[in-house]
Amino acid sequence: MKKLFLVLGISVVIAACGGPKPGEAEGGEDTTAAANQTATAATTNADTSATKTGTEPTAAAPAGKGATLIAGSDCGTCHKDHQKIVGPAFEDIAKKYTDADVDKLAKKVIAGGSGSWGDIAMSPHPALSEDDAKEMVKYILTVK
Ligand code: HEC
């Protein structure tokens, strides 16, 4: 009895698969598309991890964080990467300073002030933590 059910079951499966021939062709295409998608996803994942190992997570994270913090603050009102507006272009700040100036510049962002680039003063940012200000400055110094 068990064998009979098994045979019947298999027949049903075969019938289901062998049924609509065009549908089967479509199914085949879908599988290929899905496989392609999977391949793309796999490639993307591989790239991401490659980027991470390539740039060193510790170095990449602060830069990304700084850029995000700047985007969320008012810096863009007066600064652009490659163009002087009210304040100097980040590119020019990066040319003038090195990593050794990060502390000093972070304090300046928080306190505001003028004198380094001219008489126009930067507004103070007292709500910024020193760590966040440092992340921002670290990002600015990477702008080329
Ligand atoms: C109201 C306009 C304004 C805003 C907003 C502003 N800045 Fe500035 N920033 C300036 C000006 C003007 C200077 C040049 C100051 C000087 O000559 O010392 C400057 C200079 C700087 C410097 C170089 C400081 C130095 O001593 O050379 C850094 C770094 C900087 N800004 C970062 C930031 C960051 C980060 C933000 C956002 C949190 C920000 N700025 C927001 C106007 C602004």
> How does pLDDT run across 29-77, given as a tens digit for each residue?
555 544 445 444 444 444 444 444 444 444 444 458 999 999 999 999 9
CA–CA gap between residue 142 and residue 90 (Å, rounded): 9
Q: What percentage of the chain has pLDDT greater than the value 70? A: 56
- What's the pLDDT at 3? 60
Residues 6+ apart with CB under 8 A from 126: 110
Q: How many CA atoms lie within 13 A of 75 on its CB side?
A: 23
Whether ligand 1 lies within 6 angstroms of the CB of 141 is answered as no
The preferred substitution site among 78, 101, 142 for testing ligand 1, maximizing ligand atoms within 8 Å of CB, is 78
Single pTM value for the model = 0.67
Whether ligand 1 lies within 6 angstroms of the CB of 105 is answered as yes
- Closest-CA residue, ligand 1 atom 8, reads 122
At residue 79, what are phi and psi to the nearest 5 degrees? -125, 140
